[in-house]
Amino acid sequence: MIQKLYKRSDLIYILECITGLCICYALYYYFPRQQFFWSMVSVVLVIAPGDSDSNQLAFDRMKANVLGSSVGLLLFLLHRPNLFLICVGIALTLLIGIGFKLKGAMRSSLSALVIVMVHEQQLHSTWHIALERMGCVMVGCMTGLLVTLVFNKLMSFNRNNATGQKRKRQSDH
């Protein structure tokens, strides 16, 4: 029943998400003064369900996150964020992302934009908080990309090994 409902790639995707989340949670736990909780959000946005182009999709989502956080940081440096500036950021991020053919990953870029731009209403909310959030988003993106690459490499090795064993058994008969 479970084998009919879920494919092997679904279970691998779950393991990838849990692995990435655990890595980012360790950073969050061991460096409590940093905003690594944003890394946990980013890592699960970057990791894609396993299929033939999951490496490319993870890479595109990482590029989209870099785009969104960069636009967010730039606008934050220009003026303290407000609704109008966030709307400008959304428009800019979408225009640039579509221009770079990142359409499939645009939700990630918009998430990164909002993460970097929206802050708690504090008197000392300055550009360094936006920069720190951008850095934490990038850590999550890199973690997600690395986890995807490692898992895909392991799966490729496993498939090649299984194919080699099957050929050997066929040649023995």
Are 169 and 69 spatial neighbours (Cβ–Cβ below 8 Å)?
A: no
Q: Within a domain: residue 163?
A: no
Are 148 and 55 spatial neighbours (Cβ–Cβ below 8 Å)?
A: yes
Q: Is 101 left (phi over 0), alpha (psi -120 to 50) or beta?
A: left
Residue-wise pLDDT tens digits, 141-157: 999 999 999 998 988 88
> What domain range is 132 assigned to?
2-142
Q: Within a domain: residue 170?
A: no
Q: How many domains does the chain have?
A: 1
Confidence at residue 119, expressed as pLDDT on a 0 to 100 scale: 73
Average pLDDT, the chain: 85
Sign of the alpha-carbon torsion through 40, 17, 107, 55: positive
Q: Within a domain: residue 161?
A: no
Residue-wise pLDDT tens digits, 98-143: 999 998 889 889 998 998 888 766 546 677 888 888 899 999 999 9
- Please state, in angstroms and rounded to a whole number, the distance separating the CA atoms of residues 73 and 69: 6
